[in-house]
Chain A
Amino acid sequence: MSAAVAPLRRTPLFDLHVAAGARMVEFGGWEMPLQYQGIIAEHRAVRSSVGLFDVSHMGEVSLRGPRAAEAVQRIVTNAVGKLDDGAAMYTVMCYPDGGIVDDCIVYRRAADDFMVVVNASNTAKDLAWMQENAGPIAEVVDESEATALIAVQGPAAVALVARLADGEIASVKRFRFARAAIAGVPCLACRTGYTGEDGFELACPADRAAELWSALMDGGGTPIGLGARDTLRLEARLCLYGNDIDQTTTPLEAGLGWVVKLDAGDFIGRDALARQKAEGVTRSLVGFRIDGRGIARHGYAIVDRARPAAEQVIGQVTSGTTGITVGGAIGMGYVPVASAAPGSELTIDCRGKDVAARVVKGAFYQRG
Chain B
Amino acid sequence: MAANSDIPDDLRYTKEHEWARVQGNLAQIGITRFAVEQLGDVTQLELPKKGESVAQGEVFGTVESVKAVSDLFAPVSGKVAKVNDSLFDKPETINEDPYRAGWLIEIELGDPSQVDALMSAADYKKLLAEQE
Contact = CB atoms under 8 A, between A and B. Distances in A.
A99 to B, nearest CB: 28
Interface centre among B44, B46, B66, B92 (most CB of A within 10 A): B66
A35 B46 CA distance: 25
B44 A294 contact: yes
Contact of B44 (A35, A40, A227, A322): A322
A295 interface: yes
Contacts of A38: 40-41, 95
B69 A39 contact: no
Nearest to A41: B41
Size category of the B interface is 10 to 19
Nearest to A323: B43
Size category of the A interface is 10 to 19
Contacts, number: 39
Contacts of B64: 294-295, 322
Nearest to A322: B43
Interface string A1-39: 000000000000000000000000000000000110011
A295 B40 contact: no
Interface in B1-59: 40-41, 43-44, 46
A231 B92 CA distance: 17
A295 B67 contact: no
Interface in A216-247: 227, 230-231
B66 A39 contact: yes
B127 to A, nearest CB: 18
Contact of B43 (A35, A227, A295, A297): A295
B46 A293 contact: yes
A231 B44 contact: no
A321 B44 contact: no
Interface string A30-71: 000011001110000000000000000000000000000000
A297 B66 CA distance: 10
Contact of A322 (B62, B66, B95): B66
Contacts of B67: 34, 39, 227, 230, 321
A35 B62 CA distance: 22
Contacts of A294: 44, 64
Nearest to A38: B41
